[in-house]
Structure 1
Amino acid sequence: MNNVLAQLKDGIRKFRTEVYPEQADAFQHAASTPQTPHALVITCADSRIDAETITSSSTGDIFITRNIGNLVPAYGEMLGGVSAVIEYAVSALKVKHIVICGHSDCGAMKALLKPESLEALPTVKTWMNNAAAALSVAKSLESPEESPADKLKRLTEENVLLQMQHLRTHPSVAGAMAREELTISGWVYDIGTGQIRITEDGSRNFEVVIVEADHA
């Protein structure tokens, strides 16, 4: 444990000596003005996901909340931290967009496919009930020739779509969307390739964000 803390301290030193000096003005501005993020990103707690990095965001650009499986409990079912973040982001910070961001190789989605793996994790097992409908839909769409990787990909997408539905049940979100002050989208981030696929405007299809390298 002391080795881990030492590693973290080294990271702090690097931040203070290399990162902070180059962005000192931006940090000082952020410290002296109210935050005005333009988007809320709801993503997985997986340590391989860095929402600021994959969106090339700077300090103060995006409001972020993370949890196991990038889940959003439907309003009223499990009021807690996620619901509070959504309400604060929409009603107080006035974000203009909300992202539900899933990802490849998601441990939470793997656990949904193998529920016995959660027997020793009762709290996580209860939390994953918020994704139960996604599993039902994914199974109903299965084809005999699907590989385990295909099943995981489908479930990951269905989970993002389900959480977008849950998001719309939150009064702050529903109101802001009705006033055309807020939009939402669903993303799936591929850790290995850096590719991001997005669904928006009510579509069930996830479209790749194309960059020049994809055409090479």
Structure 2
Amino acid sequence: MFITCADSRIVTAAITGAEPGSLFEMRTAGNVIPPYSLHAPTSEMATIEFAVLQLGVSEIVVCGHSHCGAVGALNRGGIDHLPAMRGWLRPQPRDGVNDPALRAEGQQHVRAQLDVLLAYPFVAEKVAKGELRVHGWFYDIETGEVSACAEHAFLPL
């Protein structure tokens, strides 16, 4: 399963080299994964549940990218006129943004989405059993480089 941003500059087949039909994809604004709650189910929760429990995917990649508008909105604000987007992104105060490409901020955002995903009970259970692996990737639109989330940094694949 490949979870990424709705941004059309993210071409999953080009990034992964996957053949058509070999990836189960989910795209959201800002590759946001909503918190797990059976009291307020979402399409995204249902899609992840279907992929993990019905299809039995063995790998999930959460892929963010540079120059992400959603990450920019999280870090710079300016979305007061977009109440649905503001609620979706769950903005949090951040320190000043130095990189106009939002690389560090985008990578931190991927880490945050991994934390949310790993809190899904069925994901945590499958990971604990060794039946599912979860990865964080970051795609740099300017260079085409893909890096993977390691313990303390994102390292080129």
Q: TM-score, normalised by structure 2?
A: 0.91
1:108 equivalenced with 2:67 (yes/no): no
> How many residues get paired?
156
**Residue 164 of structure 1 aligns with which residue?**
114
Q: Distance in 2 between matches of 1:168 and 1:62?
A: 20
Match of 1:66 in 2: 27
The residue aligned with 2:86 is: 125
| CA distance, structure 2, for counterparts of residue 154 and residue 120 of structure 1 | 26
Q: Is contact 1:161-1:204 (8 Å) kept?
A: no
Write the distance in 2 (CA, Å) between the matches of 1:179 and 1:44: 29
Q: Distance in 2 between matches of 1:78 and 1:149?
A: 35
Q: Aligned with 2:124: secondary structure?
A: helix
Larger radius of gyration: 1
Match of 2:128 in 1: 178
- Cα deviations by residue, 1:136-156 (Å, 9 ceiling, x for unpaired): 4xx3xx7xxx73337x22211
What is residue 50 of structure 1 aligned with on the other side? 11
User: Residues of 2 paired with 1:64 and 1:171: CA distance?
Assistant: 21
Map 1:1-216; keep pairs closer than 5 Å: 40-76=1-37, 79-115=41-77, 117-129=78-90, 132=92, 136=94, 139=95, 147-149=98-100, 152-200=102-150, 203-209=151-157
Q: Deviations over 1:81-109 (max 9, x none)?
A: 11111100000011111011000100111
Runs of 4+ in 1 over 2 A off after TM superposition: 146-150
Q: CA deviation at 1:182?
A: 0.4
Query: Distance between the aligned counterparts of 2:152 and 2:36, measured in 1?
Result: 22
Q: CA RMSD in A?
A: 1.8
Name the TM-score, length of structure 1 as normaliser: 0.68
Partner-residue secondary structure (3-state), 1:118:
coil
Q: CA deviation at 1:74?
A: 1.8
- Find the aligned partners of 1:170 and 1:104 in 2 and give their Cα distance: 26
| Structure 2 residue runs without a partner (length 5+) | none
Q: Residues 44 and 97 of structure 1: is their aligned pair in 2 closer, same or farther, counting only changes over 3 Å?
A: same
Percent of paired sites with the same residue: 36
Q: CA deviation at 1:78?
A: 5.0
